[in-house]
Amino acid sequence: MENKVRVRFAPSPTGALHIGGVRTALYNYFFARKNNGKFILRIEDTDQARFVSGAEAYINETFAWLGIQPDEGIGYGGEFGPYKQSERKDLYKKYADILIAEGKAYYAFDTPEELNAMRQRLKEAKADNQVYDSLSRETMRNSLTLSKEEVDELIKSEAAYVVRLKVERDEVVSLDDMVRGEVKVSSNNIDDKVLMKSDGMPTYHLANVVDDHLMRVSHVIRGEEWLPSAPLHVLLYKYLGWSDTMPQFAHLPLLLKPDGNGKLSKRDADKHGYPVFPLEWEDPKTSEKSMGFREQGYLPQAITNFLAMLGWNPGTEQELFTMEELIDNFSIERINKSGSKFDIDKANWFNQQYLKNIDNEVLADDFLKLLKSKGVEFSASKAAAVCGLLKERVIFPQEFWTSGRYFFYPPGEYDQKVIRKKWNDEAKEILVDYKNALKKIDTLTKESALETLNEVLAQHEAGMGRVMPALRVSITGVAGGPDLMGILEVLGRDEVVERIETALNKIVK
Ligand code: GLU
């Protein structure tokens, strides 16, 4: 039991899950599965002011979409619950009280004005640290400077107070991060962080440490933005007497803006049109609707693979990994130290790779629904054929519709460049003979379409290149596209003949 791997994903339900959060969840999940461990989902909702309802459902929906199955946690059971911090208030208070009783934490009664005045004072005195710490605490109103009677009186009179950690001076706090290596700081640079807020809620720091301990978390795998807090957490483990079972830390590299300039923010993700949550999410703070990856047509396997490679490398050239392969290959040692650029082109590339490997019939299932919503009746076999023709050329499934409109509607206009260059008397004559020859065919297949074309071309002693662009533009209206004979087969004889006739009548040059 003692050596068991237990990891957790501990989001704060303060809004849509950030792409970095999804990556953190995945790495924790890979690590748990690889090591036959447990993956815990814990909701860190102690910041009441920033709470956003619906954020929790959002997380569950993301997990379901990506195929992440927590072993324990809110909605998943487990023996270390409750897994929502707002339901564990008594526990945090208990440990805060123990720290106070042992002289490792204290009450502080300072008002916001007093705190401001302190910072101002320190600024004017050009102090290195303008914070509440082992030096400045001496000048403040707390249970270290006030008499016991005064403190009792203040508490009795329900004066607002917080509980602060009493950080001792001149200690070297060190930790061996599994990604970043040794991190060492002097306790003189750690301030007396608030552990319990005046609303009776714990801060992130206390709740996080207490829960990781009580939930027997073995490894804390989280974003690099938490690395500066890690020494404080190490101190908390020490003061609580839990150093022996302190989890190992692994801080994941930052996700950088697409141009590599600085950290990717939620706002960037939105701005680039790639918010991170696979739901159409209306941000209650801004009432802005944003599309998630799922709605944009990304496949969960592609996003999983993309995020897996954003900060981790397998040490080989392999790029495409199934979830099982990621689990098999994952190791914390192969997490990169430096930040990773969030390159959406790469995500698109992954999507393409996965899309083209899906069976046409499977793609057609969804595509038929899309067609129905557009009022288009189409047979399942033809829908599958369209998917088959287009899937190598598109990134998203919805492009079967947007790029493939000519399968459902005759062209409204014709590419003028093709007409200028390739629409000539010879091409027109061949087209006339071709459509007349097609009329004699019972069922048009791509083979019979090609055979007939070759016969007509032979009569004209002309090569393919003489008529192909004109034929394509007559049928589709555009210059490029998938195998033209395949398109003809999907359209069927009568439609093809009609489109050629229309083009011959309509295109004037
Ligand atoms: N609640 C923190 C967050 O939202 C968790 C950080 C951690 O994993 O310790 O990122």
Short-list 467, 380, 378, 379, CA closest to 422: 467
Strand partners, 251: 222
CA 64 from chain centre, in angstroms, equals 13
Ligand 1 centre and the CA of 423: distance in Å?
A: 64
pLDDT score, position 275: 66
Find out whether the beta carbon of 46 lies less than 6 Å from any atom of ligand 1: no
Q: Rounded to an integer, what distance in angstroms lies between the CA atom of residue 484 and that of residue 487?
A: 5
CB count, 10 Å around CB of 254?
Answer: 19
pLDDT score, position 272: 67
How far is it between the farthest Cα atoms of the chain? 112
Quick check: 281 pLDDT over 80? no
pLDDT band at 228 (very low <50, low <70, confident <90, very high): very high
pLDDT, average across residues 109-128: 96
Report the residue among 6, 29, 44, 237 best suited for mutation to probe ligand 1: largest number of ligand atoms under 8 A from its CB: 44
pLDDT, tens only, 384-399: 999 999 999 999 999 9
Q: Residue 504 to residues 435, 480, 498: CA-CA distances in angstroms?
A: 11, 19, 10
Helices (H), 146-280: 148-156, 204-214, 230-239, 266-271
Q: Rounded to an integer, what distance in angstroms lies between the CA atom of residue 346 and that of residue 306?
A: 7
pLDDT score, position 285: 67
Q: Sheet harboring 72-73: ordered strands across?
A: 72-73, 38-41, 6-9, 219-223, 248-252
Find out whether the beta carbon of 44 lies less than 6 Å from any atom of ligand 1: yes
Quick check: 45 pLDDT over 90? yes
pLDDT band at 278 (very low <50, low <70, confident <90, very high): low
pLDDT score, position 23: 95
Residue with the smallest CA separation from ligand 1 atom 3 is 11
Ligand 1 centre and the CA of 487: distance in Å?
A: 52
Beta-strand pair 181-186/340-341 = unpaired
Task: Output the six-digit token pair for 53.
Answer: 């309802």
**Close Cβ partners of 419 (under 8 Å, ≥ 6 residues apart):** 473, 507, 509
Report the residue among 9, 12, 276 best suited for mutation to probe ligand 1: largest number of ligand atoms under 8 A from its CB: 12
Find out whether the beta carbon of 222 lies less than 6 Å from any atom of ligand 1: yes
Q: Rounded to an integer, what distance in angstroms lies between the CA atom of residue 95 and that of residue 212?
A: 13
Ligand 1 centre and the CA of 225: distance in Å?
A: 9
Q: Rounded to an integer, what distance in angstroms lies between the CA atom of residue 323 and that of residue 65?
A: 13
Residue with the smallest CA separation from ligand 1 atom 10 is 11
Quick check: 445 pLDDT over 90? yes
Find out whether the beta carbon of 422 lies less than 6 Å from any atom of ligand 1: no
Helices (H), 107-159: 112-124, 148-156
Ligand 1 centre and the CA of 11: distance in Å?
A: 5
Indicate the helix (H) or strand (E) that contains 163. Answer: strand 162-165
Ligand 1 centre and the CA of 10: distance in Å?
A: 5
pLDDT band at 292 (very low <50, low <70, confident <90, very high): confident
Q: What percent of the chain has pLDDT over 90?
A: 85
Q: Are 172 and 186 in contact (CB under 8 A)?
A: yes
Report the residue among 208, 213, 217 best suited for mutation to probe ligand 1: largest number of ligand atoms under 8 A from its CB: 208
Min mean pLDDT across 3-17, 264-278, 292-306 is at 264-278
State the average pLDDT for the chain. Answer: 94
pLDDT score, position 1: 47
Q: Which ligand 1 atom is at minimum distance from the Cα of 212?
A: 9
pLDDT, tens only, 334-368: 999 999 999 999 999 999 999 999 999 999 999 99
Find out whether the beta carbon of 207 lies less than 6 Å from any atom of ligand 1: no
Catalytic (active-site) positions: 266
pLDDT, tens only, 5-42: 999 999 998 877 888 899 999 999 999 999 999 999 99
pLDDT score, position 284: 66
242: Cα within 13 Å, side-chain hemisphere: 22
pLDDT band at 273 (very low <50, low <70, confident <90, very high): low
Quick check: 63 pLDDT over 60? yes
Min mean pLDDT across 15-29, 87-101, 198-212, 220-234 is at 15-29
Task: Output the six-digit token pair for 306.
Answer: 């993309």
Q: Residue 508 to residues 218, 414, 475, 501: CA-CA distances in angstroms?
A: 75, 11, 16, 13
Find out whether the beta carbon of 11 lies less than 6 Å from any atom of ligand 1: yes
Helices (H), 316-411: 323-329, 344-356, 360-373, 380-390, 399-402
CB count, 10 Å around CB of 386?
Answer: 25
CB count, 10 Å around CB of 460?
Answer: 15
